[in-house]
């Protein structure tokens, strides 16, 4: 629902030679672990500022307040309105869903846990696509999303679960279901390292056979190159004397940079987290909408 605008798009004059130089500079950097915070402004800015608790991430309460206020009377009016809005804005995710359906079917997984499910539309479609005995457990920390999923999609089990506060071992015990596979549809990026490692390690502990992480915060080589160039140019772009020459106003130090909502990481950084959680990387691939998907066993 919120856009992941990782990097401001720098437009710069370049030659083939300079691209090669920058790529050569960036490649060794890329092989090292890289992580940076990401912010969103792709919403009602006044609402975002209202809940901006000094630059911290969304709390569950803030998120639910914000979603209900911005979308309660429109997107969440009816089940049909939600499906229409979600599917028109997220049609590429259907490709990712198709990939998941095939993995679940080929491996005979029955109980599917989705973490950070948001509007729970993908989980509802998953339920419709799998054999009747399959169980889909959709979770999110936003109580508004979950309340709406309970009412619109009674075919799936929807429960609140906060990556930072709740415990997956208790969730499995409370539901009395043994999860076969856990899926993150673009939601694992919200966690900082210790939470990320703990949640993944706990999933291993409870016997999940596989995790599919459709990773939304992925930083590829192109992102790294843009990042390197932007950080090299930034001091000049912010310099008041240089800005005067180009008839630009001084940089506004207090300009709102957006709501912090997660982390962008490169491949090396993600691999490190998966390894620390005790998972083996079975496969890395790209599917529609997600440049990086990790299958962990």
Ligand X SMILES: C[S@@+](CC[C@H](N)C(=O)[O-])C[C@H]1O[C@@H](n2cnc3c(N)ncnc32)[C@H](O)[C@@H]1O
* Binding interface with ligand X (CB under 6 A): 1, 63, 93, 116-119, 122, 140-142, 162-164, 185-187, 190, 216
Nearer of residues 186 and 258 to ligand X, judged by Cβ: 186
For residue 116, the minimal CB distance to ligand X (Å) is 3
Of the two residues 22 and 188, which places its CB atom closer to ligand X in the complex?
A: 188
Four-residue CA torsion sign, 257, 263, 264, 268:
positive
Shortest distance, CB of residue 100 to ligand X, whole angstroms?
11
Cα(50)–Cα(106) distance, integer angstroms: 47
Q: Which is nearer to ligand X, 18 or 53 (CB)?
A: 53
Nearer to ligand X, 97 or 225 (CB): 97
Residue nearest to ligand X (CB): 118
Tell me the closest approach of the beta carbon of residue 182 to ligand X, in angstroms: 13
Between residues 109 and 145, which has the closer beta carbon with respect to ligand X? 145
* 141 vs 292, beta carbon nearer ligand X: 141
- For residue 142, the minimal CB distance to ligand X (Å) is 4
Residue 290 backbone phi and psi in degrees, to 5: -125, 115
The torsion of the CA quartet 167, 179, 161, 173, rounded to 10 degrees, works out to: -50
Shortest Å distance, C-beta 265 to ligand X: 15
Q: Residue 111 or residue 117: which is nearer to ligand X going by CB? A: 117
CB of 237 to ligand X, least distance (A): 30
Shorter beta-carbon distance to ligand X: residue 261 or 267: 261
Dist CA 12 CA 8 (whole Å): 12
Q: What is the smallest separation between the CB atom of 149 and ligand X, expressed in angstroms? A: 11
DSSP string for residues in 208-257? --EEEEEETTB--HHHHHHHHHHHHHHHHHH-HHHHHHTT-PPP-TT---
d(CA 257, CA 276): 32
**In the complex, what is the shortest distance from the CB of residue 13 to ligand X, in angstroms, rounded to a whole number?**
34
């Amino acid at each position: 629902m919120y856009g992941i605008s990782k990097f401001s798009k720098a437009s710069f004059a370049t030659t083939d030679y300079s691209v090669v130089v920058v790529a050569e500079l960036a490649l060794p950097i890329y092989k090292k672990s890289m992580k940076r915070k990401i912010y969103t402004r792709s919403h009602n800015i006044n609402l975002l500022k209202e809940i901006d608790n000094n630059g911290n991430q969304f709390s569950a309460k803030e998120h639910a307040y914000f979603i209900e206020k911005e979308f309660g009377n429109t997107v969440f009016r009816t089940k049909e309105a939600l499906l229409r809005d979600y599917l028109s804005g997220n049609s590429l995710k259907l490709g990712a869903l198709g990939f998941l359906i095939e993995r679940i079917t080929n491996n005979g997984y029955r109980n599917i846990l989705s973490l950070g499910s948001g509007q729970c539309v993908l989980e509802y479609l998953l339920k419709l696509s799998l054999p009747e005995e399959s169980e889909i457990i959709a979770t999110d920390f936003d109580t508004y999303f979950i309340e709406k999923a309970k009412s619109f999609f009674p075919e799936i089990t929807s429960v609140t679960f906060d990556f930072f506060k709740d415990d997956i071992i208790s969730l499995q015990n409370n539901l009395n279901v043994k999860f076969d596979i856990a899926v993150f549809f673009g939601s694992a990026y919200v966690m900082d390292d210790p939470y990320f490692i703990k949640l993944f390690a706990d999933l291993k502990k409870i016997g999940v056979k596989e995790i599919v992480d459709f990773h939304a915060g992925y930083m590829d080589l192109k992102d790294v190159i843009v990042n390197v160039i932007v950080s090299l140019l930034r001091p000049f772009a912010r310099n008041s004397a240089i800005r005067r020459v180009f008839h630009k106003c001084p940089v506004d130090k207090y300009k709102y940079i957006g709501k912090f909502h997660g982390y962008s990481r490169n491949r090396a950084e993600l691999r490190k987290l998966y390894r620390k959680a005790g998972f083996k990387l079975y496969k890395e691939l790209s599917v529609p909408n997600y440049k990086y998907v990790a299958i962990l066993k």
